Structure 1
């Protein structure tokens, strides 16, 4: 659990300065890679998710697992079920299976293990829609 002293004061000048974009960093190789990743994620959200949200109310998500760096959530958006499985830990983890078309996978080369075996390498995730 996050302790109160770990949460930054949103009115503090240091918090503000730390949250500002560093445009010089954005022009580095790493910055350009991250900008490409975020641009891709925003496009996927716009193309796949946003059209399904028009008639959705609250309470459509169901947390299957949220512990020790592992996360499994399902959302029922009309006729479509969105599934997120993420392993934020440093070790291989087994998570509930996913179904449907893969929308986003990190790392891409682990997709078959995540889909077929529910075996997630460290620092991995998959989002599906079916």
Structure 2
């Protein structure tokens, strides 16, 4: 089952093609399951190569999350380029804050926080560089 909300889909962390179970000795009596690597490319050209248990072609996911930038990556790279134009992509917390507040709002919040710290005696009345 593929969970689209997780970056750890398809295999457990640390598994590479041809490796056995990490918590078992090399003389493990069972058969090792065949694995395959699948390449995905995002719109920025990053390649992601997750490892899957050998699956029929129609069961291999068409898209995957890029491990470098978090954007949607596809098997041919073309679909990811189209999706990138539609979606804004990953945003940091600071980018979301800047969307909600103007520079003046940020200055007011900072001034209020400094005033409260000074009133409690946690911060000196004048900091280097204060007017």
Structure-2-length-normalised TM-score: 0.22
| Structure 1 or 2: more helix by fraction | 1
TM-score of the two chains, using structure 1 as the length reference:
0.22
Q: Hey, which of these two has a bigger chunk of strand by percent?
A: 1
Larger gyration radius, structure 1 or structure 2? 2
